[in-house]
Amino acid sequence: MARQAQARAKRLVATKFFALDLVTRMLAGREGELRDLVRQVDTESRFQEWVNHCCERIEAHADAERAAKFRDSVGQTLAAG
């Protein structure tokens, strides 16, 4: 059980870095607030809230399709761990 928890925690950290890199590229310098907020993410539920916030920002600066691509890529990365 402890190994599973440790594996989930590692997967979450890796996915956070992936998602932060992706949102940085998608928002091209307008991700400062999101970068600050991701530091507070320490559970999968908080991560999902952060992803939702990212999607809102991406949709506002680009479009819904781009936000959906972000959500899908992050979801696949989290699930693949």
- Describe the crossing of helices 2-27 and 44-61 by its angle, rounded to 10 degrees: 10
Please determine, for residue 81, whether its predicted confidence score (pLDDT) is greater than 80. Answer: no
- Provide the pLDDT for residue 21: 96
Give the pair of three-digit tokens for residue 14: 């890796």
Residue-wise pLDDT for 53-71, tens only, equals: 999 999 999 999 999 999 9
Residue 43 has φ and ψ, to the nearest 5°, of -140, 160
Q: Considering only CA atoms, which of 9, 38, 45 is closest in space to residue 23?
A: 38
